[in-house]
């Protein structure tokens, strides 16, 4: 009887290995269709352009935990504009870990507000949003950049090489924040990215009437950015992006091109 129960647990964990949605379900989170697609995707580079509260941090924290549990010696980095926000993402991951913990899964051997080490050699590291302090990691399996539109370009440039040798994965997730910066550039022109856009209307947990009241409260500009995932001009921008683009002729040589 005990043997049969043990075998059932082993079978269950074996199916969770190949499907993170099953692990999520055991933690009490039934993933939305787009979250399931993301968890089942093997894309190396993904960008999630998603509304506030749509569940983007939740789903990436599940992916981070799943990678750590099932990929021995993996290194997962959680990055965002500030340490506080990276820790917020880590807390989501810890909550899922507490819910799915099992003697048959790797155990936490070290845990603090800055990360977690597992008995299979995997590590999850929480990073602050400062370029000088994030250098020095290599062999990264998964790099998650939350609130990516507000992360500085210099920081993005300094973390990308960490994936070079390991062939690791990267996920950028954010609401938009103006037509500038790497998040906007990768979303609009980046190749080899799996791109996912989820507006507030598409999230089953965001009430339509609440959304309409929110639009009236915060105004169209914020609403388009925060809930409709539009890259609207920054509010202090004097000329809009399209006008600047129209005014620039790529065929004209700069006057002082030689300098
Ligand atoms: N599939 C799901 N089922 C039930 N609840 C979910 C699901 N996905 C996310 N949630 C819940 O929805 C809320 C918002 O999720 P989350 O914080 O991941 O969203 P977010 O897009 O990162 O939001 P923000 O833009 O504010 O950072 C949380 O309370 C989370 O637990
Ligand atoms: Mg979030």
CATH code, domain carrying 172: 3.40.50.300
Residue at token pair 């997730």 = 173
Q: Is residue 175 part of a domain?
A: yes
Cα-to-centroid distance, 147 and ligand 2 (Å): 7
Residue 258 domain flag: no
- Please tell me the number of the ligand nearest to residue 92's CA: 1
Q: Which residue has the higher pLDDT, 259 or 26?
A: 26
The minimum-distance atom of ligand 1 relative to the CA of 175 is 25
pLDDT (0 to 100) of residue 240: 60
In this structure, which ligand is nearest to the CA of 56?
Answer: 1
CA-wise closest residue to 57 among 5, 92, 87: 92
Tens of pLDDT, residues 148-188: 999 999 999 999 999 988 899 999 999 999 999 999 999 99
Distance CA 75, CA 92 (A): 18
Task: Examine residue 253 and state whether it is found in any structural domain, yes or no.
Answer: no
Asked whether residue 37 is assigned to any structural domain, the reply reads yes
State which of 55, 60, 204 you would mutate to test the pocket of ligand 1, scoring each by most atoms of that ligand within 8 A of its C-beta: 55
The angle formed by the CA atoms of residues 146, 150 and 154, to the nearest 5 degrees, is 100
Tell me if 18 is assigned to some domain.
yes
Q: What is the pLDDT of residues 39-87, one digit of tens each?
A: 999 999 999 999 999 999 999 999 999 999 999 999 999 999 999 999 9
Whole-model pTM? 0.90
- For β-strands 75-79 and 194-198, DSSP reports them as unpaired
Q: What is the pLDDT of residues 224-252, one digit of tens each?
A: 999 999 999 865 555 565 565 556 555 55
Ligand 1 center–CA 132 separation, angstroms: 31
- Tell me the sheet residues that pair with 49: 174, 197
- Is 159 part of a structural domain of the chain? yes
Range 216-222 average pLDDT: 96
- Residue 233's SS3 state is coil
Rounded distance from Cα 53 to ligand 1 centre (Å): 5
d(CA 184, CA 241): 12
Question: How many independent structural domains does the chain possess?
Answer: 1
For atom 31 of ligand 1, the residue with the nearest CA is 58
In a domain, 259, yes or no: no
Neighbours of ion ligand 2 (CB under 5 A): 57
Asked if residue 12 is part of any domain, the answer here is yes
How remote is the CA of residue 56 from the centroid of ligand 1, in Å?
6
The rounded Å distance from CA 56 to ligand 2 centre is 6
Structure token digits, residue 194: 């799996």
Q: Which domain holds residue 24?
A: 2-247
| Closest of 146, 195, 231, 177 to residue 34, by C-alpha | 195
Residues at CB less than 6 angstroms from ligand 1: 29-32, 35, 50, 52-58, 205
Give the model confidence (pLDDT) of 125-157 as tens digits: 999 998 877 888 989 999 999 999 999 999 999
258 pLDDT more than 50: no
């Amino acid at each position: 009887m005990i043997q049969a129960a043990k075998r059932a647990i082993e079978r269950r964990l074996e199916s969770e290995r190949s499907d993170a949605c099953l692990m999520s379900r055991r933690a009490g989170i039934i993933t939305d269709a787009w979250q399931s697609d993301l968890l089942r995707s093997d894309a190396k580079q993904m960008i999630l352009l998603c509304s506030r509260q749509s569940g983007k941090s939740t789903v990436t924290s599940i992916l981070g935990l799943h990678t750590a549990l099932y990929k021995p010696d993996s290194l997962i980095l959680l990055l965002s504009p500030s340490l506080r926000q990276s820790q917020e993402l880590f807390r989501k991951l810890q909550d899922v870990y507490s819910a799915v913990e099992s003697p048959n899964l790797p155990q936490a051997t070290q845990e603090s507000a800055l990360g977690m080490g597992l008995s299979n050699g995997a590590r999850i590291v929480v990073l602050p949003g400062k370029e000088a302090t994030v250098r020095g990691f290599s062999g990264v399996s998964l790099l998650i950049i939350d609130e990516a539109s507000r992360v500085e370009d210099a920081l993005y440039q300094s973390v990308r090489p960490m994936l070079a040798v390991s062939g690791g994965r990267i996920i950028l997730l954010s609401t938009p924040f103006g037509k500038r910066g790497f998040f906007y550039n990768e979303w609009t022109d980046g190749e080899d990215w799996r791109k996912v856009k989820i507006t507030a209307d598409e999230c089953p947990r965001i009430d339509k009437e609440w959304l309409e009241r929110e639009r009236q409260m915060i105004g169209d500009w914020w609403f388009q950015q925060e809930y409709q995932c539009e890259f609207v001009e920054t509010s202090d921008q004097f000329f809009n992006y399209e006008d600047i683009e129209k005014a620039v002729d790529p065929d004209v040589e700069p006057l002082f091109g030689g300098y």
